[in-house]
Amino acid sequence: MPELPEVETTLRGIRPYLEGRRIERLLVREPRLRLPIPPETSELVAGQTIGALARRSKYLLIGLERGALIVHLGMSGSLRIVASGSPPKRHDHVDLALDDGHCLRFHDPRRFGLFLWTPESPEIAQIQHSLLRDLGPEPLGDAFDGDYLHALSRTRRVAIKSFIMDAAVVVGVGNIYANESLFLAGIHPARHCHRVGLERYRRLAATIRAVLRASIEQGGTTLRDFVNEDGQPGYFAQSLRVYGRAGEPCGICGEPLRLKRIGQRSSFFCPRCQH
């Protein structure tokens, strides 16, 4: 599943191709995504000029003269810039054709993604839209820090890994990044969140920021290039310290890394370095 760094990398990749361009047409080959694309969407967006692009959690917001497009990649979705009129592949469900001959193509084999128009501006949608209004703060934003996590955790009785993966607590800390951040912060993923002290939360928040920034800089862990038709995998996977490495020696102490199911997700940790 594309995570926050993959979505941020996608945003930075497609932004130069979209901002300031006029939409020639919206071609919907398959409207049956997680939420169906209403048939009137094509008429609503055609002819509009694209304004600023933004990201909220794992949602991309494409600002228009009237309203915005909200895009979510779901479990298997991706966006690619191609030449308008280029033959679609299987599972290429939506084309946003632009006035310069380029096209933003939405590909989604499992069809769990979203491609919706809203009459709200991106700024208003982030506050009022039902998909966005209840989300927690951005992990790279000013509202997120260890003091915030510590205060919120005092009344919770869940494993800390589940706590930081809750989008109502903080957005974008997916399974890979939660595993890596907890390892680097020295916190066992099954420890109850209310039993973690303030200083350890401050270290964890800083670690989450560092891990996500490193992944963004390296192109995400799973993202395939948005322009090159063949695509190249992201490089951050080469830097993973615990995720997917159960049974291998810990890079710090040499103890075999372990695997445990927490909140129905695979959790990788070092039994010696994390407590």
User: Could you tell me the two tokens for 265?
Assistant: 């997700």
- Residue-wise pLDDT for 8-35, tens only, equals 988 988 999 999 999 999 999 999 999 9
- Residue-wise pLDDT for 171-218, tens only, equals 999 999 999 999 999 999 999 999 999 999 999 999 999 999 988 887
pLDDT of residue 204: 98
pLDDT of residue 221: 57
User: Could you tell me the two tokens for 45?
Assistant: 């967006």
Buried b / exposed e over 67-104, threshold 16 CB at 10 Å, is: bbbbbbbbeebbbbbbebeeebeebbbbbbbbeeebbb
pLDDT of residue 226: 47
User: Could you tell me the two tokens for 164?
Assistant: 């930081």
Q: Which residues contact 219 (CB under 8 A, 6 or more apart)?
A: 9, 234, 235, 236
* pLDDT beneath 70, residues of the chain: 1, 220-238
Dihedral of CA 123/124/125/127: which sign?
A: positive
Residues labelled catalytic: 2-3, 58, 265
φ/ψ of 61, rounded to 5, equals -115, 120
**How far, CA to CA in Å, does 53 sit from each of 65, 122, 152, 210?**
12, 8, 31, 24
**Percent above pLDDT 70 for the chain:** 93
pLDDT of residue 20: 98
Nearest to 212 by CA among 242, 236, 247: 236
Return d(Cα 207, Cα 185) in angstroms, integer: 6
φ/ψ of 55, rounded to 5, equals -130, 135
**How far, CA to CA in Å, does 130 sit from each of 2, 125, 127, 133, 174?**
21, 8, 9, 6, 21
User: How many CA within 13 A on the CB side of residue 107?
Assistant: 16
